[in-house]
Amino acid sequence: MDGSIPSHRRRLTRLVAAAAIVAASLGLVAPPAYAEAGPKVAVMTRNLYLGGDLTPSIAAPTLPAFLAANAALLGHVDLVDFPARAALIAEEIRERKPDLVGLQEVALWRTGPLGDPAPATTVRYDYLALLVTELNASGHRYDVAVVRDEADLEAPAGTPYQLDVRLTMRDVVLVRHGGRVKVAATSSGNYVNNLVFPLAATGGTATSTRGWTAVDAVVGGRAFRFVNTHLEAFHPGVRLLQAQELLRGPLQVPGRLILVGDLNSGPELPDPNNRLAYFALVAGGMVDTWPILHPGDPGYTAGLGDDLTEPADDVEHRIDMVMVRGTVVPVASEVFGTQRRTPGGRWASDHLGHQAVLALP
């Protein structure tokens, strides 16, 4: 962990213990029937999977190894075929008709001439454009309410590409076109605390910039805020600091609040450090909807492998969450994503999707 974490370890231990009691109790209390009165909103969270593992590039010890790792990464992005995966994700959305969708790892892959100091601009895959095109082609249109650029990384790739390759990560909120949810305002931001990786091959660094997107909306006369985020995957201390930023920022509003996203944290993760961000959110008043509706069901959402060919039951972590605060009542929810594969035999993502129907009494 970074230097700010040890000095707060005792406080965090108390926080975790208290939050664990709260979290455990959530699975024991079902919402009363009367609480389901009022308008309802369906929300979905979906991590699109950027298409490969950045770790070999980050860890490459020499420049030749760095070039080879970057080439392997781009080749893997081609292999797992987001255009085909976008068709599956669009079908999931069409079937469930969520009012709001929070998307993470909405990658934009671009290329440029090898060694060109200018940023690469030739689009290879725009995950957002591909998904929206699939949705619109079916007549089930969704509007892009807000997009936040996050990590923006560019590096040379060796044989067979001999190109500069640029990855821009984004979080996005989609709103069903012409639907019952009316957006009043949008906002977004990047976290101050982000993980910085040293790059041994170049002597430089790469920053894993992350952030959040939000809409303030109204449905049936009920106002609420919908927040979507993707917390740091590789450092529990940075992830905790980001969760605390979230509580001090877009979650620090009165009234109804819905948080969705890939939190990379959960109450049952094997490493206790990886539970800290989740428990911080619970201690901040956020209610985890899954155990309320599915007591005893682990609700795993992640772990289908980099190649997207793992067995469907290989998921083993619940990190894709729908959390609420205020007068928001969970009515129904599901985890989905293993109903169909691409023509090439791959899943839509390495994560499953999670949708919840929420009443706003």
The mean pLDDT of the chain is 91
- DSSP three-state, residue 70: helix
pTM: 0.90
Please report whether residue 180 resides in a domain: yes
How far from chain centre, in Å, is Cα 274?
16
Strand partners, 259: 227, 323
Please report whether residue 48 resides in a domain: yes
**Phi and psi at residue 273, in whole multiples of 5°?**
-60, -30
Please report whether residue 1 resides in a domain: no
Domains in the chain: how many in total? 1
**Strands 142-157 and 204-208: what pairing?**
unpaired
pLDDT at 33 over 80: no
> Could you report the per-residue pLDDT of 61-85, keeping only the tens digit for each?
999 999 999 999 999 999 999 999 9
Structure confidence at residue 20 (pLDDT): 39
Please report whether residue 293 resides in a domain: yes
pLDDT at 12 over 80: no
Structure confidence at residue 35 (pLDDT): 56
Please report whether residue 20 resides in a domain: yes
> Which residue range(s) make up the domain with 259?
6-359
pLDDT at 176 over 70: yes
CATH of the domain at 340: 3.60.10.10
Distance CA 221, CA 216 (A): 13
Rounded average pLDDT over 90-117: 97
Strand partners, 288: 323
pLDDT at 237 over 50: yes
Please report whether residue 17 resides in a domain: yes
Structure confidence at residue 328 (pLDDT): 97
Please report whether residue 226 resides in a domain: yes
Please report whether residue 251 resides in a domain: yes
Structure confidence at residue 109 (pLDDT): 98
Rounded average pLDDT over 121-150: 96
